[in-house]
Every structure is written in C-alpha cells, then in structure tokens.
A and B are shown apart, each in its own frame.
Chain A
Amino acid sequence: MSSNGRALQLEAVRKSFGEHEVLKGVDLDVGEHEVFCLIGASGSGKSTLLRCVNLLEPVNSGRILLHGEEITRRDVDVNRVRRGIGIVFQAYNLFPHMSVLRNVTLAPRKVLGKPGAEANAEAIALLERFGLADKRDEFPDRLSGGQQQRVAIVRALAMQPDLMLLDEVTSALDPELVAEVLSVIRELAEGGMTMLIATHEMTFARDIANKVCFLDEGRILEQGPPEKIFGDPEEPRTRQFLGRIVEAGRL
C-alpha cells in the first residue's frame, strides 16, 4: 500500500444522492505539493468530490487513499483523518458566535488539546501572516467577505493539514475582494501546500495549477497540465465549456 509520493488517490469513486448519481466513477491522483484544479460547470460534481474526500459525504463505491491509507474504510476514525485535511467552503462557514481568534483556536484547543496560550500564539502568527492580526477580536459578521474567507483559510491552516481542499472559495465574493483571497492561495501554493481546488476562476487556475481536470456530469473528461487543457483541449465538451468561459470574458 505505497503512496508513491501521491498525497491523494481516488479510485472509481461513485456517489449518489437518492436516484441521482453525482460522481460516476472518478479516478484522480494528486501528488505531494501539487496544486490540482477541478473545473467544470455547476452541478458537475466538484463540490461533492471535495466533500467525499473530507468524509463529509460517504461514497457509495470506490476507494479514497490519503498518503496511501484507505480512508473510505468503515473502521477509519474520521476525526483523525479530517485533522490532516483542511477544507474551505464557498460560504466561509465561520462560527458567528466566536471571535476571529476563537474561530481559529477552537480546533487546536479542543481537538489537539493544545494549551490556550500556545494555540493563541500560533493563531496570532497565522493571522499576522495573512494580514488579519488587527481583526483577531472581531466577530465574523463585522468582516468583509474577503476577510471572512481569509479567516476561514487560517482556521483550516491552524490544524496544520498537509492537504487543503478549496471549494469555490471566491464564488460568493464581490469581484474586488477576489484578489485578496487568491493571493493567499497563491502564497500557500508557493509554500508547497498540496491543494485540491474547485474553482470557476480560470485565469487563476491556469496560473497556479500543476494539473487541471475537467469534470463533466460526474465524470473526468480530461486532465493534464494547464497549458494543455486551456491551450489545446482534446474533448469537444471541454472546448465548448472553455469557449463559453472565454465568451463571458473570464479567461
């Protein structure tokens, strides 16, 4: 059961909600320190795929391996697995009844059992790194969308995950706030963080990804380096999808 330098592997993963099959046998390999972008229309299964990796949704069949360990087995401790995976949601999902600092320190304190002072110091260092130090005592509702999303990223990072899942993290943001979040992600990529990113930001995906994968109706139609997918896609569906993106002025 060797991972061969692969952080994440999906093997024939299927997932249905009732009658509706959202993932129809997905195979995927994400290497260590790789930035892997999932593109595709809304409803193509990108979010579901990320939620399956984080075990928020059980898969119907197939396997998911994290650093070579099968995490879709029934006897796996999901809380332990999730500690190593950070996920950031489209709607931020910060805890509205806690200050920014409490949001970030909750899991390190209550899951890892870190003493308050240590957790605080680490959280403050992270907040400083992402330009949020002065927001530590604010409540989420008082922050802009971009700030909230950066806090959500910091909250995930506080658990020191070795894999980050980003689920359309800029889709709920006003256009002028998108850049500040993307620059954070870029910084993470430069730091060697392994990331699986579902995104509609094609320009960003082209710039940052080592590998891009086009998901269409629950199947992977095409994957490869960004130059290949964006420059010379083979599948007609991929061409059609990218053509519409270009028309909309988003690439």
Chain B
Amino acid sequence: MTTDADPGRGSRILGDLKGSGGGQRSVWIALASTLVFAGILVALIVTSPGWPAVKASFFNRKIFFDSLPEIAHAFLLNIRIFLTAEVFILVFALLIAVLRGLPGPVFFPIRGLAIAYTDFFRGVPTILVVYILGFGAPALQLSWLEWATPLFWGTLALVLVYSAYVAEVYRAGIESVHTSQEAAARSLGLSRLKTLRYVIVPQAVRRVIPPLLNDFIGLTKDTALVAFLGPVEAFRQSQIDVAATFNYTPYMCAALLFVLLTIPLARLTDWLVARERKRQLAGGAR
C-alpha cells in the first residue's frame, strides 16, 4: 500500500517534515537530497557500459511516438476489462464474504464452500486460471456457451481470482466492526440481513477502501494476462510492435500507460477516504 494506511495525517512524506521544527528549511533539505539521490542514480545508469545499446532499444523517441497511438488504443481494452471485472468482483466478493460469516451449524456447508473458494483461487497462479478457463472451457463445446469469447473467459478468470482476494479484504472489514453495532441494530428489530445491509457492511466497506484499491491496482496490471488468450490489448499490441520494429521501446510505452492509470486511482482513493473522515470528524465538537 502507498500512503493510504493512515489517511488522517495527510501526506506521510511531507507531513513528517512539517513537524520537525525546521519548517521551510527542512523542505529545501528534502528537495536537495532527493535531487542528489536521483542524480547519482541517473549518472550510474547513463555511465554504465551497456547504456548506449539500452538507450537505443528501450528509449527510442521515434518508435515511442510511432507506436503510442496504437498501444493507447489497445489500452482502452485493458480499461474495459478492468471496469467490467471490477463491478463483478465488488459484488461477488461481498457475497462470498457474507456467506463465510453466516453463523451456526446449519450454514457450515456454505461457509466451507466459501473457504474452499478463497483458498483455491488465492492459491492458483492467475495465469494458470486464465489458461485453464480460456482453453479448457471452450473445449467442452457446450452449445449454450458458444457466444463466449476469449475476452469473456479471460475477464471471468480475473473475476474469479480477484474475488477471492477481495472477499478476504471485505471479511477483515466486516470483522473489524464491533459486535456492539450489531447488538444495537438487532435490538431495534432489524433482521440479520438488514443489519448487515445497513449497519455492518457500510462501515466495513469504508474501512477497507485503501486495501481494496491495492487489489484493484493489481487488477489493472493483470488485465494484460488476457492477452495470452488472443485479445489485442496494450501488452499484446506492444508485442506486435516490438516484433515489427526489432526494438523494445513499445514495451516502455505500455508500461507508461499502466502507470498513468494507477496513479489517478490512488489519488481518487485518498480523496474518498479524506472526505469520509472529514464528514464524520470535522469540527471536533467534543
């Protein structure tokens, strides 16, 4: 996780500086030391014996701008996969987490299923799930599944794997809500389901937004795995361009696009968490 762990204190990087007494001065020291550090790093790379060759094959300006439009267009498919998968993951994972929390001996089989599910899909490498579903499921030749494209199977594989992770995140959130909240809700006559729906889950979800985002950053990257089934997304497109130009620069292009997607996601979450906190605590009228 990035700086989301303790959102109340604002930026952990600069927040510590403000408190250290120097004020303006410590910010300048931080800036200077960062520049020196970055300078050393760049110098180390640029002066290495292989740098001219690396520069030519990874940082070719012309090839970069030539391949960027195509890869960016292909990247839209990554975003589509990501958004589609995310919606299903959020719902499906919550269902698993709730099922796993069902009390009493009657629901043991359901709890057991939920546990088996999360154990299995967190244990198997994502790429294997993509392969097994993408090549295995169509091979069954079921007529009612004829419409299912490789893109569908790839996305489904991501939903299955990430739901297992996200279900655990939800579960941690649900268990972190104190039992007195449940007692308060039940004592008002709310059923178990309504207590979950209106009292427990809303509080749980607010608490797990930062770790949820962490999983979703992982998901944006793993959309590239769908390429192994054939759909031309950013990674596949950059492979095509690399093969055509005998130059690795298109990979850098794809890498840049992935980074550009995750940064706004991280900022969005910071903002959501800060807004919620402000709403509940601002004023501090205690």
Q: Is B285's CB within 8 Å of the partner chain A?
A: yes
Contact with A along B181-211 (1 / 0, CB 8 A): 1011111111100100011001100100000
With a cutoff of 8 Å between Cβ atoms, the chain A residues found around residue B198 in the complex are 106, 110
User: What's the least CB distance linking B170 to chain A, in Å?
Assistant: 16
Contact with B along A13-26 (1 / 0, CB 8 A): 00000000000000
Q: How far is the CB of A67 from chain B (nearest CB, A)?
A: 16
Residue of A nearest to B285 (CB): A142
Do A141 and B187 form a contact, CB below 8 Å, given A97-B203, A110-B194? no
Which of A56, A85, A107, A155 is most buried by chain B, counting CB atoms within 10 A of its CB? Answer: A107
In the complex the two chains form, is B189's CB within 8 Å of A111's CB?
yes
**Does A89 sit at the interface, judged by CB under 8 A?**
yes
In residues 231-286 of chain B, which contact A (Cβ within 8 Å)?
279-286
Which stretch in A76-84, A119-127, A182-190 binds the other chain? A76-84
- A142-B282 in contact given A82-B189, A97-B206, A111-B190 (Cβ < 8 Å): yes
Asked if B47 is at the interface (CB within 8 A of a chain A CB), the reply is no
Q: Nearest CB to that of A84 among chain B residues? A: B189
- Asked if B2 lies at the interface with its beta carbon under 8 angstroms from chain A, I say no
Is there contact, CB below 8 Å, between A54 and B187? yes
A209 interfacial by beta-carbon distance below 8 Å: no
Q: Is A96 an interface residue when CB atoms closer than 8 A count as contact?
A: yes
CB distance from A82 to the nearest CB of B (A): 5
A159 touches B189 (CB 8 A): yes
Interface centre among A93, A97, A106 (most CB of B within 10 A): A97
Question: Residues on A close to B: CB < 8 A?
Answer: 51, 54, 56, 78-80, 82-83, 85-87, 89, 91, 93-97, 106-107, 110-111, 138-139, 141-144, 155-156, 159
7 further A-B pairs in the complex, CB-CB below 8 A; given A106-B188, A107-B189, A110-B198: A56-B187, A78-B186, A80-B189, A96-B203, A138-B285, A139-B279, A159-B188
